[in-house]
């Protein structure tokens, strides 16, 4: 017989749960995320932003929560990705490819995200995020990703695990 999931604490954005001996979190209201890999010729557009849970800046791919605004939890991941790419980086993309659904840290959270590849980038605004986000946009040559990650580590930045796909494995060889 399966153990029953119990809610230990509920906030506006996350829910802490237990199930037997397991403790984990999920997004409130079944909110998911859209993560964007913006590619412009031989460059990837990354962002740096302060992350409260880490207490420091983080080097990341642009991303946003699906349904965290007036659009609701049924918003299409592509609509979220389009909005977040422009808000965070100041770019719009003419071509999009859905790379599928992934999970972030399956031993800690049930959070999942849709990974979307964006290409044909055009600068349409300043980027930097919405008020209070203070996002720095970085254009990085694909061939220099390893060096950029190493330098970010030396500067004390946290490195989002999703950047691992940009460091090898041929994930983007056909782009």
User: If you write DSSP's letter for every residue of 118-164 in order, what string do you get?
Assistant: EEEEEE-S--S-STTT-PEEEEEEGGGHHHHHHHHHHTT-EE-GGGH
Tens digits of per-residue pLDDT, 41-59? 899 999 999 999 999 999 9
User: Is the confidence at residue 162, as pLDDT, over 70?
Assistant: yes
Distance CA 122, CA 93 (A): 6
Residues 6+ apart with CB under 8 A from 147: none
At 53 the three-state DSSP class reads coil
Average pLDDT over residues 90-97: 97
Tens digits of per-residue pLDDT, 128-157? 988 888 899 999 999 999 999 999 999 999
pTM of this structure: 0.91
User: What pLDDT does residue 139 have?
Assistant: 96
Q: Which helix (H) or strand (E) holds 84?
A: helix 77-89
**Residue 150, both tokens:** 């190493």
**72, 30 contact by CB (below 8 A):** no
Residue 175 CA, chain-centre distance (Å), reads: 20
User: Is the confidence at residue 17, as pLDDT, over 70?
Assistant: yes
Inter-residue long-range contacts of 144-152, CB under 8 Å, 24+ positions, other chains counted: 145/44, 148/46, 148/59, 149/59, 152/48, 152/59
Distance CA 92, CA 125 (A): 9
Percentage of the residues of the chain whose pLDDT score is greater than 70: 93
List the domains of the chain with CATH numbers. 1-30 (no CATH), 31-167 (3.90.79.10)
| Cα end-to-end span (Å), the chain | 47
């Amino acid at each position: 017989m399966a153990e029953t999931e119990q809610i230990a604490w509920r906030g506006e954005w996350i829910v802490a749960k237990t199930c037997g001996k397991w403790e984990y979190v999920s997004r409130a209201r079944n909110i998911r995320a859209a993560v964007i890999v913006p590619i412009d010729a031989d460059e990837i557009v990354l962002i740096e932003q302060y992350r409260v849970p880490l207490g420091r800046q983080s080097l990341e791919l642009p991303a946003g929560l699906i349904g965290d605004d007036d659009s609701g939890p049924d918003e299409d991941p592509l609509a979220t990705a389009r909005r977040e790419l422009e808000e965070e980086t100041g770019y719009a993309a003419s071509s999009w490819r859905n790379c599928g659904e992934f999970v972030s840290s399956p031993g800690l959270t049930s959070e999942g995200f849709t990974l979307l590849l964006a290409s044909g980038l055009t600068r349409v605004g300043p980027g930097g995020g919405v008020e209070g986000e203070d996002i720095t946009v970085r254009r990085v040559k694909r061939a220099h990703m390893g060096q950029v990650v190493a330098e970010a580590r030396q500067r004390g930045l946290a490195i989002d695990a999703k950047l691992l796909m940009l460091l090898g494995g041929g994930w983007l060889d056909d782009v």
